[in-house]
Amino acid sequence: MDQTRPSSGSVEAEPYPFPLAVAATALVVIDMQRDFLEPGGFGDALGNDVSLLRATIDPLAAVIAAARAAGMVVVHTREGHRADLSDLSPAKHRRGNFALKIGDSGPMGRILVRGEEGHDIIPELAPIAGEPVIDKPGKGAFYATDLEAILRSRGIARLVVCGVTTEVCVHTTVREANDRGFDCLVLSDCTGSYFPHFHEAALAMIKAQGGIFGWVASSSALLAALSGA
């Protein structure tokens, strides 16, 4: 059986409906980490208003719960580095020129370092047993990780992508996935940016030109489709 064929119905999306194929779809939750979403983390250290990202938490919690109930594969990612920073390129380390850099000590431990408090996924969206957590040193979730192997071994061909930030790690991941042949649906209210105009532009780019990178929908459209599936 072709698992990518719709199991029933489709998600109301732009530029056109996204066929639902639950068994072949994974929910990929990008970098919902304390370092990006809580005061004292990396995002805050860069001068950003973290409350802009926190608006995604409630809708995303509902989507994760529905995905789990439907038996969808749920994958989480975290951006961060080894404690000795041996996987941090000098270029990435230099970038920004702010008071706090990756690896420096902040209020939630060393910024974007694996194992530190700030690197953890926020408690509201904590992974449950059996859900893969992908630690990634880059912006894209496929670069230098085993995400693709994990998805392919589970027969996944389609991704619902959520998380932060829309124009950086979400967008990079969607572009990487698209080039690897995955169909991506991005949920507009479950993705967020410190820059609302970047969020809007990033979503517009995904669905432009007949869905050049994928589809965009609201979480309510996915929840409606899942409840009918």
Catalytic position from the list 35, 44, 136, 162? 136
Site string for ligand C5J, 40-59 (x = CB under 6 A): --------------------
Binding to ligand C5J by residue 162, rule CB under 6 A?
no
Query: Does 136 participate in catalysis according to the annotation?
Result: yes
Q: Which residues contact 67 (CB under 8 A, 6 or more apart)?
A: 27, 74, 160, 226
Nearer to ligand C5J by C-beta: 19 or 106?
A: 106
Could you say which of 38, 44, 79, 120 contacts ligand C5J (CB under 6 A)?
79
- Binding ligand C5J (rule: CB under 6 A), the pick from 63, 164, 185, 203 is 164
Catalytic-residue membership of 31: yes
Residues 6+ positions from 2 with CB-CB distance below 8 Å: none
Looking at the Cβ atoms of 168 and 190, the one nearer to ligand C5J is 168
Q: Does 134 help bind ligand C5J (rule: CB under 6 A)?
A: no
Q: How far apart are CA 120 and CA 100, in angstroms?
A: 18
Task: Give yes or no for residue 72 binding ligand C5J (CB under 6 A).
Answer: no
- Contact status: 168 vs ligand C5J (CB under 6 A): yes
Q: E strands, the chain, where?
A: 10-11, 18-19, 25-30, 73-79, 105-106, 109-110, 133-136, 158-164, 183-192, 215-217
**Environment class of 15 (CB within 10 Å of its CB; exposed 0-12, middle 13-18, buried 19+):** middle
Q: What residues line the site for ligand C5J (CB under 6 A)?
A: 31, 36, 79, 139, 164-165, 168-169
Residues marked active site are found at 31, 136, 169
